[in-house]
Amino acid sequence: MKTFEVTLLKSYIVKIQAENELNAKKYSEFFTNDIKNISTNFDEIIYNFKIENIDCKVNEAIEVNEIYENN
C-alpha cells in the first residue's frame, strides 16, 4: 500500500458561552481539537465558559503528496 500526506483545510463554527469576546475566542481555539470539545468540567468551572456546539463547515483536502520511503 502507498503512503500519502494529506493537507486538510477545516473550518468550524463554535457556539460558546464566555465572559467576553476575547475569552470566547481564546477558549474556542484552545479547547477544541478537530471537531471535539476537549475541555473538562473542571476547565469550564475554573475559566467560566461552556462550549455548546461545534459545527464543521468546511472539510477539504487541499494537497496530497505521496511519501516515498526507502526500504
Question: Would you kindly state where each structural domain of the chain is located, as residue ranges?
Answer: 3-67
Q: Are 4 and 67 in contact (CB under 8 A)?
A: yes
Q: Does the predicted TM-score (pTM) go above 0.75?
A: no
User: Cβ of 65: how many Cβ atoms within 10 Å?
Assistant: 10
C-alpha cell at 36: 471535539
Confidence of residue 1 (pLDDT cuts 50, 70, 90): confident
pLDDT tens track for 15-63: 999 999 999 999 999 998 877 899 999 999 999 999 999 888 888 999 9
71 band by pLDDT with thresholds 50, 70 and 90? low
CA pair distance 32, 29, nearest whole angstrom = 6
Amino acid at 45: I
Distance CA 56, CA 62 (A): 16
First to last CA, the chain: 13
